[in-house]
């Protein structure tokens, strides 16, 4: 189902591009693309080809960014694919010195964008779902699955059932809780389903794919996370250099913006513009994190506290900075020092880390990778106010640790832009 959805989305985007190329040709040259005749042996064929190649590359990158998650028909991805295709085409035309009609180029891009958004609007009215029969007694995981966007839990069976069982309906995936003790009758039922060619999947895998979270109750040893991290070791090394390169590109904009913010903070309330705090880094090593000060001086004189909605310790400027996350701007310096990555689990204060490590199972596994300026938990959950929410947030952090990749990082960075613009989850 997942593969079919991705392929059909790519095909629909390519169809929208073909329509856009034809529309652009008629509006610019008054004839179909294959009928265009230009002086000097020029042709629009290379330009059209670059559009098609750009669309394929953009679609490939978009599909990879889903990582292990269930794909969804989001408008943001449609816009991103069109922007990527247009940028690729522009660079290819410049590099090859091919013929360029600005009117044809702009018209094709606009019509393609309209088509990409339109096909997603149609798909969102009737989104795809995976029908499933779930064998488990984990009510919490079951409730999360039922609340996911692309699941249809048709039936739930007790792992210890010994009675008669009907064959699974057509088109249904059998989802098995491998942590549960199956009765002989239930084990026979699962085996028969597999032999009959019915999809049989592990509950933990299905849960991760549809919720973007790690089912902590299914972790037993800890190496279920450390082993995937060792497989991404080459990327972990290269990730620092990519982060460093991106930060260096951002410095010409970040420095003047930072100076303006620092001046606003000093004029708004007494105290330094930069706030320093010891946080927990990779492998539990402490480091000094830099942020723009958003609270009154000595806000944590009585010890570390969770930030809350409408926190009385926030200054007027601080509330604005936190809403749009620009208080994190000085952390680019932490990235250059190698203490932070652009994407990763957010670093927690040391007292909270020490407490959570004692009280929350597998909490220390989030320190297998460098913490980040933004992260999978931030774009999906926001801030945590207490320990119960910290556990929920951990399920997202551990999902990132297991599935970390360049594609997932790009996905997080793209969603972080919307998080900044919308102020989602601000404290």
What is d(CA 363, CA 353) in angstroms, rounded to the nearest whole number?
Answer: 8
**303, pLDDT greater than 70:** no
Residue 351 included in any domain = yes
The pLDDT value given to residue 306:
60
**Beta strands 274-280 and 286-292, pairing class:** antiparallel
Task: Work out the pLDDT band at 304, boundaries 50, 70, 90.
Answer: low
Residue 223 included in any domain = no
Q: Both 120 and 39 in a single domain?
A: yes
C-alpha pair distances (Å), 45 with each of 101, 373, 385, 391? 12, 44, 57, 55
Q: Both 384 and 291 in a single domain?
A: yes
- pLDDT per position as a tens digit, 373-425: 999 998 888 777 777 888 999 999 999 999 998 888 988 988 888 777 665 55
Q: What beta strand segments (E) does 70-228 contain?
A: 130-135, 151-157, 173-176, 200-202
The parent domain of residue 195 ranges over 130-211
- pLDDT per position as a tens digit, 224-278: 888 888 888 788 888 999 999 999 999 999 999 999 999 999 998 888 999 999 9
Residue 243 included in any domain = yes
Q: Both 140 and 117 in a single domain?
A: no
Residue 221 included in any domain = no
Residue 112 included in any domain = yes
The model's pTM is: 0.81
Q: Both 141 and 120 in a single domain?
A: no
Q: Both 76 and 144 in a single domain?
A: no
Helix, strand, or coil (residue 110): helix
Between 148 and 232, where is the model more confident? Answer: 148
Give mean pLDDT, residues 352-367: 92
Q: Both 328 and 370 in a single domain?
A: yes
Task: Work out the pLDDT band at 187, boundaries 50, 70, 90.
Answer: very high
CATH number at residue 156: 3.40.50.10700
Nearest in space to 3 (alpha carbons), one of 62, 73, 71, 79: 71
Bridge partners, 153 (sequence order): 132
Count of other CB atoms within 10 angstroms of residue 11: 12
Task: Work out the pLDDT band at 103, boundaries 50, 70, 90.
Answer: very high
Bridge partners, 151 (sequence order): 130
Q: Both 115 and 138 in a single domain?
A: no
Q: Both 100 and 58 in a single domain?
A: yes
Domain end point (choices 211, 241, 267): 211
The pLDDT value given to residue 424:
56
Task: Work out the pLDDT band at 27, boundaries 50, 70, 90.
Answer: very high
Q: Both 290 and 239 in a single domain?
A: yes
Q: Both 322 and 246 in a single domain?
A: yes
Q: Both 175 and 157 in a single domain?
A: yes
């Amino acid at each position: 189902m997942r593969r079919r959805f991705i392929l059909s989305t790519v095909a629909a985007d390519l169809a929208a591009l073909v329509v856009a190329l034809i529309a652009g040709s008629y509006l610019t040259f008054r004839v179909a693309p294959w009928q265009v005749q230009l002086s000097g042996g020029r042709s629009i064929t290379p330009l059209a080809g670059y559009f098609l190649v750009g669309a394929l590359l953009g679609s490939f990158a978009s599909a990879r960014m889903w990582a292990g998650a269930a794909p969804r028909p989001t408008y943001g991805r449609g816009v991103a694919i069109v922007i990527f295709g247009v940028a690729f085409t522009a660079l290819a035309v410049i590099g090859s010195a091919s013929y360029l009609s600005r009117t044809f180029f702009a018209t094709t891009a606009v019509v393609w964008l309209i088509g990409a958004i339109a096909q997603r609007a149609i798909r969102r009215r009737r989104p795809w779902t995976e029908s499933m029969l779930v064998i488990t007694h984990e009510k919490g995981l079951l409730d999360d699955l039922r609340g996911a966007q692309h699941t249809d839990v048709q039936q739930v069976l007790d792992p210890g059932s010994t009675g008669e069982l009907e064959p699974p309906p057509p088109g249904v995936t059998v989802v098995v809780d491998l942590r549960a003790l199956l009765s002989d009758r239930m084990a026979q039922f699962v085996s028969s389903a597999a032999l009959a060619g019915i999809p049989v999947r592990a509950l933990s895998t299905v849960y991760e794919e549809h919720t973007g979270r790690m089912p902590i109750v299914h972790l037993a040893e800890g190496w279920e996370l450390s082993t995937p991290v060792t497989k991404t070791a080459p990327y972990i090394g290269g990730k620092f250099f990519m982060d460093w390169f991106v930060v260096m590109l951002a410095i010409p904009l970040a420095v003047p913006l930072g100076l303006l913010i620092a001046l606003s903070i000093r004029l708004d309330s007494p105290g330094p513009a930069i706030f320093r705090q010891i946080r927990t880094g990779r492998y539990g090593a402490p480091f000094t994190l830099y942020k723009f000060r958003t609270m009154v001086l000595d806000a944590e004189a009585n010890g570390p506290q969770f930030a809350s909605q409408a926190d009385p310790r926030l200054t007027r400027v601080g509330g604005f900075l936190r809403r749009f996350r620009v208080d994190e701007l000085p952390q680019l310096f932490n990235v250059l020092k190698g203490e932070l990555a652009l994407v990763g689990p957010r670093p927690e204060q040391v007292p909270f880390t020490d407490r959570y490590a004692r009280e929350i199972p597998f909490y220390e596994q989030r320190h297998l990778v460098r913490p980040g300026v933004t992260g999978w938990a931030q774009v999906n959950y926001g801030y945590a106010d207490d320990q119960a929410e910290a556990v929920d947030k951990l399920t997202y952090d551990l999902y990132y640790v297991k599935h970390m990749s360049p594609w997932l990082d790009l996905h997080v960075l793209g969603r972080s832009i919307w998080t900044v613009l919308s102020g989602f989850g601000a404290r």
